[in-house]
Structure 1
Amino acid sequence: MEALIAFTLAAGLMTLTPGLDTALVLRTAAVEGGHRAFLAGTGICAGCLAWGLIAAFGLGALLAASEAAYTALRWAGAAYLLYLGGRMVLRARSGLDGTMDLGESARSDTSPRDWLVRGFITNILNPKVGVFYVTFLPQFVPAGADVLSFTVLLAAIHALEGILWFVALIAATQPLAAVLRRPSIMRALDRITGGVLIAFGLKLVLEAKRS
């Protein structure tokens, strides 16, 4: 339960940090309407579940093959979290880096179902999401827990948080879009999220030294 609570908080903070997925949903809600924006968000969350399954099977196989290799992956994950967190703190963004232009050339008569596919493809073809899942999720799998089932559970929690966040974005498209575009808000979210990632990375390093 402690691991689930910690992951829910950390993943929730990551979900709230504006990025490509948030930009796609905001743009779709503003231009195509709430229904298609929800379909795009659902596709994105389906991509998260797919990445979770990929990570779960891969991590489970790695643990079964070699405990040392799994430990090495956790060390690599800690290094990645420290790098990513430090980058977010030191180079906090002042905007959405142009991602709000994503899909501007899309036709207004695109089928609603196409937005579900578009959201899924946007997520599943983003290698950063894959790297994030492989490095982030293992930090929250307790010792002795079934890696496969617990990792899938974590991915499902992240996907649910994503759905809830996208619903909130769609329900208040204009006010939230205006707030998220503010440079001060973007910098604050990046720095807070970066600080959380650094804390988790340091926690993993300290635990490894004690073991």
Structure 2
Amino acid sequence: MSLFLAFLGVSFIVIATPGPDTAITIRNTLLGGRAGGVSTALGIASGQTIWALATSAGIVALLVASEPLFLAVKYAGAAYLVYLGVKALQEALRPSHQAEVLAVAKPSRLTAASAFRQGLISDLGNPKMAVFFASLLPQFVPPGQESFAALLGLGVVFAVMTFTWLALYATVVAKAGDFLRRPSIRRVIEGVTGTLLIGLGIRIATEHR
């Protein structure tokens, strides 16, 4: 029980630390309302569940051991974050007429399916999740327990915690949506999140394991 409580504590610290998942969730909430933010959170949690399954099956170990494959995933994920960041900066610097109209209306520019897809791709394209799961989860598996089931269970718990945290973020942002979608405020948020996403993408692409 103490191992599991320790896992929950470490997981909460990791999840609550702002990163690309938080940035994408906030931006998609502004674009698609609470449904967009929650769908993004669900996509991110689904990606983590896939990573957990891959870790339990030993696939992640092969990915981490294969330098070319690891780099391919890393660069693809970094490129996707930069792409989303550039789109956000474009909206901040040169907002379209449609964006200005929707900024003061109900959010509808992002469908739930698109938000889910962005969250899923963003998480699956982050090889740090593979390294993180491969290094963290085994430390909290009780001795004598079946490794596959134990690793998968911990990974699913982590994904559920992530979804809950990000869904709460989406709810809070959505409640403040009318204020945050004001043209001047929205452009500042787009600029900040765009810069953050580009910076995170560059960091993922350039840093060592």
TM-score by length of structure 1 reads 0.60
In structure 2, the partner of 1:129 is 129
Deviation track 1:160-210 (CA, whole Å, cap 9, x = no partner) reads 1111101221121259x9xxx9xxxxxxxxxxxxxxxxxxxxxxxxxxxxx
CA distance in 1, matches of 2:83, 2:16: 16
2:140 corresponding residue in structure 1: 140
User: What RMSD, in angstroms, separates the aligned Cα atoms of the two structures?
Assistant: 3.4
Equivalent residue, structure 1, for 2:46 = 46
Q: Aligned pair count?
A: 145
- Residue type of the partner of 1:154? L
In structure 2, stretches of 5+ residues that fail to align are: 66-81, 92-98, 100-107, 181-188, 190-209
Q: Residue 18 of structure 1 aligns to a residue in which SS?
A: coil
SS of 2:135's equivalent in the other structure is helix
- Mapped partners of 2:61, 2:24: distance in 1: 34
**Gap regions ≥5 residues in structure 1:** 63-72, 74-97, 182-211
1:133 positional shift? 0.7
Matches within 5 A, 1:92-131: 101=85, 103-104=87-88, 109-131=109-131
Aligned partners of 1:99, 1:16: CA distance in 2, in Å?
24
Equivalent residue, structure 2, for 1:32: 32
User: CA-to-partner distance for each residue in 1:15-71, whole Å, 9 max, x for gaps?
Assistant: 000000011001111232110111011000000000000001108999xxxxxxxxx
Distance 1:11 1:99 in 2: 28
User: Which residue does the alignment assign to 2:203?
Assistant: none
Counterpart amino acid of 1:9?
Answer: G
Equivalent residue number for residue 58 of structure 1:
58
Q: Name the residue aligned to 2:169.
A: 169
Pair 61,167 (structure 1): closer, same or farther in 2 beyond 3 Å: closer
- Seen in structure 2, the aligned counterparts of structure 1 residues 59 and 122 have a Cα distance that, compared at 3 Å, is closer
**TM-score for the superposition, normalised by structure 2:** 0.60
| Contact 2:45/2:163 (<8 A) preserved | yes
1:63-82 equivalences in 2 (<5 Å): none
Label 1:26 to 1:110 Cα distance change in 2 as closer, same or farther (>3 A): closer
Identity percentage of aligned residues: 26
